[in-house]
Structure 1
Amino acid sequence: MSLYGTMRTGVSGMNAQANRLGTVADNIANSSTVGYKKSSTQFSSMILPSTAGQYNSGGVETDVRYSISSQGTFSYTTSSTDLAINGDGFFIVTGEDGVNYLTRAGAFTLQDDGTLQNSAGYTLMGYEYDSAADPTIVVNGFDGLSEVNLSGSGISAVASDTGILAVNLPNTAVDGDTKTTSLKVFDSQGTSRLVTFTYTKTATDNQWDVVATDPDGNTILSETLDFDVDGKLTSTPDLTLTGFTQGGAEVPDIALSIAGTTQLASDFSVQNGKVNGNAASKVKGYEIDDTGVVSVAYENGDLVPTYRVALASVQSPDNLNPVAGNLYTQSNDSGVVVMGYAGSSGFGSIISGALEDSNVDVAEELTAMIESQRNYTANSKVFQTGSELMEVLVNLKR
């Protein structure tokens, strides 16, 4: 057996245990890091060719693996912008370099510029929310993403443009009888304006005229309502209130549904009356649901969706490339990045007000540290023994 080979094997073993101690040190240091995924050192033997009469000692090789797919436990917080993923998927974040990265670290905080950044300074990415349809996702790329930005969500006022008013008109009314009610609508500056509706019985059976006027008394709707023998509306159930301007603000045309209006043997009553829009209101906070829809909560109780957080996944998460800042990038072995939304096929749900803990087991790491220390010492003894034997061989010449 080669003495030099023995010493090389001892050095190989010490290097391998040093690598293991390095991963243990990283894991312990990041045991409290949000979303951190532990690393581990795997060993494999390195065998050199030997002959029948002489053995060539080899050594040991190491390979570092990451438990990225192993989910940590959750810690709950009081911040609605702290996010955790329950299941598969990664948040997409971007740094000052403009490069997009994957991460499970969801400790996001609202910045002065309206963006949401995690503790490493990376900005959360998503899509602008559209209530009519989800945005078209580039499945295998980050195209179309934008920074989730809440800077434009200060005091909000939304003008009314749709509404509903369903009433019952008494069938005992005679020609010329009138009934009156009103609806509160909102103008473009958030001021409420009263629209008055006057129902007048005509000389024709089962027929009423309805006139709506703005606060200045101008007519903005005039329509005849017809009912069948059962007292149900036969004329169009969809009307339009003509827009008007008052006090320098505008009320746009309002699509008004009167479906449900009846003429029955009962007193005049309003069955349903409401319009959309809202008065000027300040931001109270933010809400993020389990599908990743980011909504601005106003003091008047309104929730206005603004963005939807995007998630990404790969076929082999454990083969992603780790990057400083608790980030990951795609590698040749991880597979392509696939985009989607929380709650959709292949993606977990988002938990607001929670953070994913590190998946490091400190007790397990301390055990590994002791094992590595003992093994390092044993390998050093092999090297020391080989060195001493080499010294004996050198001294034979004397």
Structure 2
Amino acid sequence: MSFYISLSGLKAAQSDLTTISNNVANVSSTAFKKSRAAFGDIFSSSALQTSGTVAGQGVRLNGLTQQFTQGTLETTDKTLDLAITGEGFFTVATESGQIGYTRNGAFSLNEDRYIVDTTGSRIQALPVDASGTVTSTAAADLTDVQVPTSYTNAAGEVVDLSSLGISKTGLITATFADGTTQPLGSVALASFPSQEGLRQSGDAHWEANNDSGGAVYGTGASGLFGTIQSGALERSNVDITEELVALISAQRNFQANAKAIESASTMTQAIVNLRT
């Protein structure tokens, strides 16, 4: 029995090592969120036994949970680099209409002047009126953001785009050479009843499911959505020192369980030798 108990400990230590290794490997990944392995003991006894006379039967992996703590912000001075200070997520959509959520705010313009993320998915915005006030927060009203290169004024003149700005609330504003400003939409931030229930899809992207609950959309600087900072990116929340200490601890755990298996094997061999 001790062999199988130590074997379960060996498997648990391996899972812990794998999780920590993945955290360390992604220490430089933009907006990466570290994970932690949660373990539980295995115990069972018959009706004729008491807990005081029965040893445990090992350990099992209960699950991996992501830690959605805030990562440090790194200034980039690029307007379309966005970071969230808070619990919100950027909402993006693929060309097929698949909705995803990300903390990776490294956005840019594609060949069609749509604002896209590192995977090519288009950032989603809430509709606004001429004054920049959001008119709807419904999922059905989310739209892609396309940045114009110019506009035609009342005199029929074509005026070129001068700059693009994004406020702390997420309002995207185009400023033209004649000083005219035009709101293009407000960055749609999403929050969830349970962040830990989100399903990872890579590149600091997540998908909603039954465990996370449905997304609630809103603007920056309101509620749990957090504040948007233009010209900055969120770094990974992995503390390399903490992870290296945990890595050593997991390695020692692995070695101890391996030693226990070796001891159990030696004792079994000794018993066999007695019989012969």
Q: Give me the TM-score of the superposition, normalised by structure 2.
A: 0.91
Match of 1:16 in 2: 12
Structure whose residues are more often helix by fraction: 2
Tell me how far 1:102 sits from its aligned partner.
1.3
**Kindly, what percent of the aligned residue pairs are identical?**
33
Aligned residue identity for 2:207: T
Give the drift of 1:96: 4.1
Residue 73 (structure 1) aligns with: 72
1:70-108 Cα shifts (integer Å, max 9, x gaps): 111110112100011111211101224421111111110
Partner of 2:143: 146
Q: How far apart in 2 are the matches of 1:364 and 1:347?
A: 28
Q: In 1, Cα distance between the equivalents of 2:15 and 2:191?
A: 29
**Structure that is richer in strand per residue:** 1
* Residue of structure 1 in register with 2:39 after alignment: 43
In the alignment, structure 1 residue 322 sits paired with structure 2 residue 200:
yes
Q: 1:383 to 1:106 in 2, by over 3 A?
A: same
Query: Comparing 317-326 with 348-357, which one deviates more in the overlay?
Result: 317-326
- Can you give the 5+ residue segments of structure 2 that lack an aligned partner in the other structure? none
Aligned counterpart, 1:131 = 130
The code of the aligned residue for 1:395 comes to: N
1:236-289 Cα offsets, whole Å, 9 max, x none, are xxxxxxxxxxxxxxxxxxxxxxxxxxxxxxxxxxxxxxxxxxxx3222331111
What whole-Å deviation, never above 9, does each CA across 1:300-356 have from its counterpart, x for those lacking one? 333221121111101221232222221112233323321111123332111111111
Counterparts of residues 1-398 of structure 1 (less than 5 Å): 5-49=1-45, 51=49, 55-62=54-61, 63-68=63-68, 70-131=69-130, 134-138=134-138, 142-150=139-147, 153-159=148-154, 187=155, 189-190=156-157, 280-398=158-276
Give deviations 1:340-374, integer Å, cap 9, x for gaps.
11123332111111111111100000000000011
How far apart, in 2, do the equivalents of 1:48 and 1:389 lie? 25
**1:396 aligned counterpart, secondary structure:** helix
Q: Distance in 1 between matches of 2:197 and 2:111?
A: 36
Q: What amino acid is aligned across from residue 48 of structure 1 in structure 2?
A: S
Where in structure 1 are there 5+ consecutive unaligned residues? 160-186, 191-279
Distance 2:94 2:271 in 1: 60
1:80-139 CA-to-partner distances (Å, cap 9, x unmatched) read 00011111211101224421111111110111111222223332111343226522222x
SS of the aligned residue for 2:84 comes to strand
Range with greater deviation from structure 2 (331-340 or 303-312) = 331-340
Secondary structure at the aligned position of 2:140 is classed as coil
What number of residue pairs does the alignment pair up? 271
Larger Rg: 1
Amino acid at match of 2:121: Y
Aligned Cα RMSD in Å?
2.0
| Contact 1:92/1:312, CA 8 A, preserved across alignment | yes
- The superposition leaves residues 214-256 of structure 1 with CA deviations (integer Å, 9 ceiling, x where unpaired) of xxxxxxxxxxxxxxxxxxxxxxxxxxxxxxxxxxxxxxxxxxx
Amino acid at match of 1:296: A
Aligned mates of 1:15, 1:97 — CA distance in 2: 40
